[in-house]
Amino acid sequence: MKTDELIAMLANGADAVEPNALGRRYATALGWGAIGATLLMIITLGVRPDFADAARLPMFWVKFAFVASVAAAGLVVAARLSRPGVRLGLSPLALVAPVLALWILAAVVLADALAAERTGLVLGQSWKACPFVIAGLSVPVFVAALWAMKGLAPTRLCLAGFAAGLLAGGVGATVYAFYCTEMAAPFLGVWYVLGMSIPAAVGAVIGPWVLRW
């Protein structure tokens, strides 16, 4: 087939493209992904029994703001990486900022605590399970985010997979925050960050394979 024939073929019957394909695709992916993660948590874990009491504590909202802002920043970075020729600019800073802020808070908490309390602040009650539960709850959004990206056009596949993983980890951790009773900043700074990093690392590894177009 000659190039002119290909051009004629591509142009023939090329209907109007619906605007904002990216927004619609990510909205669909996040909607289904978040529903999936919530159902997964309710079926496997349940909801925090003292949820109503916990919601009155400031630290509950600090924790919520932390994971939700990682998810939001992951979404911004993933969306930018889904379009050819869009620069990341300063958007990666939005990912770094919440983690840095939490680490500063954790350092203050640890410095304030008695030496005997510090281990408990870091390990909490659930450090062994926490990262894996977050990674598990991130699976629905991870699959959905990769589907969204696959239908767009990422050109930096390793980074794109990483961002999809962070978005998924952020949403997974946000959902988990409704169950998890850990409130100490040092705990969150280690195990939540680790939990959200697992899907990000997986995404960076599989991105070049699954996102090719």
Partner 1 sequence: MSASEDRLRDLLINGLAGDTSTYHAFLKELSAHLRAFLRVRLSRLPDEVEDLVQETLLAVHNQRHTYDAGQPLTAWVHAIARYKLIDLLRRRAGRDALTDPLDDDLHMFASSDAEAADARRDLARLLERLPDRQRLPIVHVKLEGLSVIETARMTGMSESAVKVGVHRGLKALAAMIRSNDENR
Contacts with partner 1, residue ranges (CB under 8 A): 1-18, 21-22, 82-86, 152-153, 155, 212-213
CB 59, min distance to partner 1, A: 40
d(CA 153, CA 105): 38
Sign of the dihedral defined by the CA atoms of residues 210, 90, 141, 67, in that order: positive
Phi-psi map region of 89: left, alpha, beta (phi>0 left; psi -120 to 50 alpha) = left
Is the CB of 21 or the CB of 113 nearer to partner 1? 21
CB 44, min distance to partner 1, A: 35
CA distances from 185 to 47, 86, 119, 170, 171 (A): 21, 35, 12, 16, 19
Is the CB of 10 or the CB of 111 nearer to partner 1? 10
CB 95, min distance to partner 1, A: 22
CB 5, min distance to partner 1, A: 8
Is the CB of 79 or the CB of 180 nearer to partner 1? 79
Is the CB of 18 or the CB of 112 nearer to partner 1? 18
Is the CB of 20 or the CB of 43 nearer to partner 1? 20
* 20 alpha carbon, distance to own chain's centre: 22
d(CA 123, CA 86): 41
CB 125, min distance to partner 1, A: 46
DSSP state of 181: -
DSSP state of 15: P
